[in-house]
Chain A
Amino acid sequence: MSKFEFIETTIIDGVGFIELNRPEVLNAINRGMVSELVSTMKEFDRDDHVKVIVLTGKGRAFAAGADIDEMAQDSPIDLELLDQFAEWDQMLQVKKPVIGAVNGFALGGGFELALSCDMLFATETSQFGFPEVNLGVMPGAGGTQHLTKIMGKKKALEWLWTGEKMSADEAIHYGIVNRLIAPELLIEETMKFAKKVAKQPPLAVRLIKESVDKAVDYPLDEGMKFERKNFYLLFSSEDQTEGMNAFIEKRKPQFKGK
């Protein structure tokens, strides 16, 4: 069904499934891929059939970095005028849960893409890293910010300065990934989890994501106020009435996402 050149998409049981599809270059991210990815995510965000988005890479890697050839000759002014990251940043505006399934390498831009996901499942053999420093540059799509917010300054600097590859064990130790799964079962287990979340009341799931995202940046007092507003807001939903009635009547709730 895919209408894209660089990705493949499908919808399975409420899960919007996106695969990066340049396996011959370990899914190196080029500008066309970012455009397709962002437009698909926005489309899934509006599509009632999609409750959760899963993102993975075809072949041996999740994504082994950005397409270097594409940007090697760019001047700062070219990059400013192109403003390529503006499109990338829209991924962070997606309101539905985005779960990354990292098979193999997530390096450079591929690691930034993984860090942009809400949750990450990976395999024992997955490897992560920011090799940009070895090319005389640095991450530019949120890598220094996301990694530091997750690992803390000291550990983040170690990886960003050396450009070395981080093992899956290290990634799970620092909370970069949620679970390590046998490589053969990565997609199956990620989809099981995604389908479980897809059955949860969508409005609650959505406002929980929004509140948790605020916790990363807001001072606690502001975050608490934000949370409370969302908590009150859910009391205007049909799902809240249904959920609480079902609890009192000791039956299973039927959520509608309204």
Chain B
Amino acid sequence: MYETILYNVDQGVATITLNRPDSLNAFTKQLNDDVRKAVKQASGDSDVRCIVITGAGRAFCSGQDLKDVGESADFGEVLRNNYHPMVREIERCEKPVIAAVNGVAAGAGFSLALACDFRIASEKSSFIQAFIHIGLVPDAANLYYLPKLIGEAKTMELAVLGDKISAETAQQYGLLTKLVSSDNWEDEVNAFAGRLAAMPTKAIGLIKRSIKASWNITFDEYLEKEAYGQRIAGLTDDFEEGVQAFIDKRKPAFQGK
């Protein structure tokens, strides 16, 4: 069904593995489309309660495959047709999405990591805004997310200077949830994804809605959204279970409903 990714669901976690290791998982239109479809599939699958995006081989994702677009291509249309539908699907997704950055995240690969809710990075990983080196600007929503995550000053440095930063530096900037040694890589990613997959999924989705909305709306509009969110959360089975477990002094067993 997918040509350029591996898609696997295990114990509530959908793992999307970018699978073009020979080209360091560079984006082709096919890869953009496969990621979009896989995120959509995971969003619609009630067995899935957490999504992990990672790369096969030594890179996370090296950005656009320049062999897939000619120099004379209309890059505006490439974004509208290939990248924007993909990042919209991730932005819209109401389940927690983790970027498990196993290696270099360059260009649009960096953007992909930014579009996710959490970034866990291997000590072998690095991040680079490669665009400026060929006279282009960061794309695939990169500069929408990055200033919100690390502030304008550091965003300006990374985007304009285009220096590669190590995983340690990324962590200092506040980009990462966790920096993991390569020995424990898979265990740490699985443990974090497993933890999210056992949480009240609907409440996580509602938290995401509120955080994302907060950038674009007034305080009073936000308060109304907050009221909607808490009303919806209060109607879930997981809320009932959470309260009951608290009363019973036991650990809650959330079902994501």
Residues of A within 8 A of B (CB): 181-182, 184-185, 188-189
Contacts and interface: CB of A to CB of B under 8 A. Distances in A.
Nearest to A169: B216
Contacts of A185: 228, 231-232
14 contacts: A181-B228, A182-B209, A182-B225, A182-B228, A182-B229, A182-B232, A184-B228, A184-B232, A184-B235, A185-B228, A185-B231, A185-B232, A188-B231, A189-B228
A185 B224 CA distance: 12
Interface residues of B, number: 7
Given A182-B209, A182-B229, A188-B231, 11 more contacts: A181-B228, A182-B225, A182-B228, A182-B232, A184-B228, A184-B232, A184-B235, A185-B228, A185-B231, A185-B232, A189-B228
Interface string B221-235: 000010011011001
Of listed A182, A185, A188, A189, residue having the most chain B CB within 10 A: A182
A254 to B, nearest CB: 30
A122 to B, nearest CB: 13
Interface in B38-92: none
Interface class of chain A by DSSP? helix
Contacts of B235: 184
A130 B32 CA distance: 29
Of listed A184, A185, A189, residue having the most chain B CB within 10 A: A184
Interface in B213-250: 225, 228-229, 231-232, 235
Nearest to B209: A182
Contacts of A184: 228, 232, 235
Nearest to A188: B231
Contacts of A182: 209, 225, 228-229, 232
A118 B244 CA distance: 44
Contacts of B232: 182, 184-185
B221 to A, nearest CB: 9
A162 to B, nearest CB: 15
